[in-house]
Chains A and B, each alone.
Chain A
Amino acid sequence: MSEREHRGPAVPGPAVPGPAVPWDDNARPGPAPATPGDGDRPHPAPAVPDPGTPPGPTSAPAYPRPGAPVVHGLPPGRPGAAPAHRETAGIPPPWARYPTPAGLPAAPPAQDDGWRRLPAMMLLVAPATALVKLAPAVIALLIFGAGRGSATQLWIAAGIALLAVGAGVIRWRTTRYRITPERVELHSGLLNRQRRSVPRDRIRTVDLTAPLLHRLAGLSVVKVGSGQSAGSDSGLDLDAVSTGEAERLRRELLTRSDPDTGPGTAPGTGPDAEPAEEIDRIDWSSLRYAPLTVSSLAAIGALAGAGWNLLREANIDPRTLPGADAVTGELTTAPIWLSALLGVAVLLSVMVAGSIVLFVERWWGFRLTREPEGTLRVRRGLLTRRSLSVSEQRLRGVTVTEPLLVRAIGRGAQAGVLTVGLAGAGGEETGGGAIGPPVRRDRAHEVAATAARAEATITSGPLRAHPATARTRRLVRATVPALALPVAAGVVAYLGGPVWPVVVAVLLLLAAVPLGLDRYRALGHRLDARYLVARHGSLVRTTSALRRDGVIGWRIRQSRFQRRAGVLTLEATTAAGPGSVLMLDLAPADAVALMAEITPDAVAGFRTGEQAVSAAGGSRTGSG
């Protein structure tokens, strides 16, 4: 059988051994759970024989034909096939020989051109995942609809289950992917056929995610991010392949983006020779920051909202729950301040407990490593294992983020990266480029510096403060919107309303003053030999260090008020992270000097005054 061209010289067995760094090994809670679905664990058998876990019987129905190529998982009764299973991946896929039922898309035109299918375990995992997602609805249906015509409910539930299984089978049959020297392609769908194709030189990130069910089956979702506009075309999701294959894909796809390495040599460049360099790992003293992060509080809120919704959907009134009467009785007889205090205490403890649970789930087994193929890699997650990899070539700088509570109470901070392809608003998946949990502040600066391969910390240290008018502006901007509240409350009180809102509003207004001052204190920038460092923000103080050559343009804004105050807002635009590094309320001369220093060619021609020539000339010799 012909070999796939993209493998090239890398095809010989040793080039793609079992995962030398099984990416979720590190954090398996204890020994691998002996679930039947875990039968895929001996998958890296050539490298790590694991006789302790017999092949699960669950994979039996998936491989009815002896001789069918086994790409993923181990068919029961054919343990001897294990060492060869990677080679068999090159054999024409089995579906080519299956009779194609009418209505299903025809087999791929050429079977030996590298098209691969999802592992058969997906036949189990996809419906199971769908069922788990639908479970609340189904359970509610079964329990609360049982009164009238229980048979109907059963049928509906069975129908849903059948649909889920059917959808899983169709998805499995119609999904195929291949990796050519130029592109990663994914075809899927029966009625709504999708063809995704990402040029390999556009690949910025390769993330592996293994939700619990996938993990039990030894599978991982591979998300290929191209870092183009954050639209639907930004990448593709391969849901899912075996964890070993995912690890191999990750390495192959990311190594390829190195221009020095030829196309096919990617997996064979000997990444196993050098071990990954560990930059950071979980330090459980970070747990104290868990209740202080806003994101976890928001998550708790979302959870509580979902729970409340579920109760409402199920027509359960919390007041009718057993014991609720006693509690409300107690509360109504107690003095109001006591019940308020109790309520706050209960809420707080629930929030703290919940945030700790979420923190542990999110950061369990966290490791930040620099992989030999030149990527930074974050591995984390208790139930859902995640592995985020960013190519160091795409790294444009680092950030240190300090949410107010973490900064004020815990003296902590969170390190992050500015990477092309990871939008700042990447959401929960990327956490805005975070490369670790909140840690001690100096440690965060250290991690950021190591990630950037800098000798000394770049995100800490003194910054050039912004003009005093900036302080006035921060104060005004913090307090003026807050003024509306006392005024409104005053009007209400004047019209005969209660007086206490006025007090609260005035207190809020007073609280806005330190906030404004703190926002001013945060402002600052500095130009190092290699980095532009800028800081701003109070509720979330962000220090960004952007590499000079990562600046791809400038944006200056000046409102009427800023014009009067003699300041302006400068943004150094970049392809990485949120798209720009923000410097609020700079002196105009500072701003232009900064621009001329970083991009002398682009700016020098537009400067005015006699300093234009001298400063541009000076900066050119200075930076060159």
Chain B
Amino acid sequence: MTATGPLTTGDAADAGALPLPLRPPANRVSPRAIWWWRLRAVPTPVVLLVGQGVAWSLLPAAPWHGLLIATITLTVLWMLAGTLVVPTLRYRLHRWEVTDEAVYHRSGWLVREWRIAPIPRVQTVDTEHGPLQQALRVATVTVTTASARGPVRIAGLDADEARELARRLTETTGRHPGDAT
């Protein structure tokens, strides 16, 4: 408990909003991840809009249409935010770094989250390419530890980078014996 010095963020991009004496991880994810996040934010609001459209045509106008206008407006706003604002925010905030000692990842936009998994505690390294991710040549690398609360999910990495990262992590963690609990 010695750290009482000035609180620095070390991250100018965050406009000094982080009074956390940890520097941000070194690497950004792939810029193509922005499009991945954008496309992923589309289906749910669209389904909701279709549902509301059906409701519009089926329900009597008197009490319902006013309510539906409100919910449809909210849904559209949500979709706009999810496709235009949030992905860029995420791209600015999501960062990752893997050293010989630890996997370090920062994510989230409304609630920010930092995760650190020491390399000797890493149990498995999974790479995930969904159909959309394959089309955009991005991938998700999940580094799990023995804790149910601890997996580090680095989403939106460049596919080649992800493969290289998984290979390197597997190699590094292989050097540490034990069951990592």
Residues of B contacting A592 with CB < 8 Å? 3, 20-22
A396 to B180, CA, bound (A): 13
Given A556-B113, A595-B116, A589 and B149 touching (CB < 8 A)? no
Q: Does B70 contact A (CB under 8 A)?
A: no
Whether the pair B118, A552 counts as a contact (CB closer than 8 A) is yes
Which stretch in B35-43, B77-85, B96-104, B134-142 binds the other chain? B96-104
Q: Which of B2, B152, B179 contacts A618 (CB 8 A)?
A: B2
Q: Does B50 contact A (CB under 8 A)?
A: no
**Chain B: interface residue total (CB-CB under 8 A):** 45
Given A563-B18, A595-B116, A609-B5, A553 and B111 touching (CB < 8 A)? no
What's the minimum C-beta distance from A69 to chain B, rounded to whole angstroms? Answer: 37
> Mostly helix, strand, loop or mixed at chain A's interface?
mixed
Contact mask for chain B residues 90-116; partner A; CB cutoff 8 A; 1 contact, 0 none: 000000010101101000101111111
Q: Does B76 contact A (CB under 8 A)?
A: no
Which stretch in A300-308, A439-447, A487-495, A599-607 binds the other chain? A599-607
Q: Which residue of A lies closest to B26 (CB)?
A: A606
Which stretch in A209-217, A246-254, A570-578 binds the other chain? A570-578
Whether the pair B118, A608 counts as a contact (CB closer than 8 A) is no
Residues of B contacting A609 with CB < 8 Å? 5-6, 8, 21
Q: Does B148 contact A (CB under 8 A)?
A: yes
Given A552-B117, A554-B114, A563-B17, A573 and B22 touching (CB < 8 A)? no
Residues of B contacting A611 with CB < 8 Å? 2-5, 21
Q: Which residue of A lies closest to B116 (CB)?
A: A554
Whether the pair B121, A553 counts as a contact (CB closer than 8 A) is yes
A560 to B104, CA, bound (A): 21
Whether the pair A579, B147 counts as a contact (CB closer than 8 A) is yes
Given A563-B18, A608-B10, A609-B21, A420 and B1 touching (CB < 8 A)? no
Whether the pair B150, A573 counts as a contact (CB closer than 8 A) is yes
Q: Does B44 contact A (CB under 8 A)?
A: no
What's the minimum C-beta distance from A107 to chain B, rounded to whole angstroms? Answer: 37
Q: Which residue of A lies closest to B17 (CB)?
A: A563
Q: Which of A230, A599, A607 contacts B22 (CB 8 A)?
A: A607
Residues of B contacting A463 with CB < 8 Å? none
Interface residues on A, range: 35 or more
Residues of B contacting A619 with CB < 8 Å? 2
A580 to B128, CA, bound (A): 25
A322 to B62, CA, bound (A): 53
Q: Which residue of B lies closest to A556 (CB)?
A: B114
Q: Does B145 contact A (CB under 8 A)?
A: yes
A606 to B3, CA, bound (A): 14
A559 to B119, CA, bound (A): 27
A64 to B94, CA, bound (A): 71
Whether the pair B101, A601 counts as a contact (CB closer than 8 A) is yes
Given A423-B148, A579-B149, A580-B147, A555 and B114 touching (CB < 8 A)? yes
Q: Which of A552, A557, A573, A607 contacts B23 (CB 8 A)?
A: A607
Q: Does A593 contact B (CB under 8 A)?
A: yes
Residues of B contacting A360 with CB < 8 Å? none
Contact mask for chain A residues 206-240; partner B; CB cutoff 8 A; 1 contact, 0 none: 00000000000000000000000110000000000
What's the minimum C-beta distance from B46 to chain A, rounded to whole angstroms? Answer: 28
Contact mask for chain B residues 124-167; partner A; CB cutoff 8 A; 1 contact, 0 none: 00000000000000000000011111101000000000000000
Residues of A contacting B25 with CB < 8 Å? 606
Interface residues of A in 374-408 (CB under 8 A from B): 394, 396
Ranked nearest first, the 4 interchain pairs of A and B with the lowest CB-CB distance are A575-B146, A579-B148, A573-B150, A602-B102
27 example contacts (A-B, Cβ-Cβ < 8 A) are as follows A201-B179, A527-B1, A552-B118, A552-B181, A553-B150, A554-B114, A555-B116, A557-B112, A559-B112, A563-B17, A573-B149, A575-B180, A579-B147, A579-B150, A580-B149, A588-B20, A590-B3, A591-B20, A602-B101, A606-B104, A606-B116, A608-B8, A608-B9, A608-B10, A611-B5, A615-B2, A619-B2
